[in-house]
Structure 1
Amino acid sequence: MSRSADDNFCVVTTTQKLTRAARELPRAAGLLALALLATVSACASTADGPPPESSYAVTVDLFSGRENPQVALSDGAAEQLYGDLDARAAEFQAAAEPPAPLGFRGFVVDPPVDARPVLRVTQDAVYSVRGQEHRKLADPSGRYYRLVLDDVTPHLAQDVRAALP
């Protein structure tokens, strides 16, 4: 049985389209893989990236020459921390800016609203910072340090956790 010119045209055209599609398949698969990788990377970086502006941001003040990690403090921990410190406001003493040695310098808690002070929580003290004024509350038991540490540790990379006191 012989084919007509129209049949041959259809076979040749279909074969050309299939060949072209087969050549494009690796490129399409590569683009799909890149899109998937970009999506996964974006999701991974926002999970432990900077906290949303509506939450209390905690910066682990640890590194020199590299960006310090930043995570969100849970609402419960933030309420407990600021509630306790508000109740002890009279115990805060005027202080110089805390020392800045190499290594861990504390957790810096940055509230989402200006009505609250920025806090620097170290192992033995809490510094309240408003503008240029620093006030210090001694915390020899490390209660406030442990409160913040316990709340943020699950969100920190292993190398950061290992460097914390």
Structure 2
Amino acid sequence: MIDLGYSLSRRFPDPPQTDYRTADVRALRHDLFCGDVYIADVKADRELSTAWGWVPVLDFAWALCDVMEQIDRDPRGNRSAATQFAELDFTESTDCMLFERRFGWVEVSADWMPADEPALTFDHRALRREARDFLHDLIADLCDMHEGLADNPVIWDLQARFPRV
């Protein structure tokens, strides 16, 4: 079982004058909603998380959905023995998460993990579904917290681009 989650930072609050209704893509992806994120394998009781406080959580969810699409380009899908690679880079940092798909499995690791620690392994379809659910749940939470965000056309486009599976 996969658990994706986030926490918003109190150290890096959004600017109080922000008009969420008209915030552009750059602001939504890089300047707002900072905090930390994690991905956990509940069965194995292992997780990969950030502890920096400045990760733009909406950008993480958005980029994770992009990564799931990127490693799903092989027309053979789960039958493909060829490894599909993707990286999720963090804003304002050299750190990144690494995704490797082979057959129907995705290994998730990060360059800040100890070298002897094995990657987390997830079923591709389950991870893709969880990534989209995480994005939609995060958007719902952020819209509840920030007036006008639900009326932002960028948010509408994002939800349409990555519908729940």
Query: Is the TM value for this pair above 0.5?
Result: no
More strand, by proportion: 2
What TM-score do the two structures reach when normalised by structure 1?
Answer: 0.31
Q: Which has the higher contact order (CA 8 A, sep 6+)?
A: 2
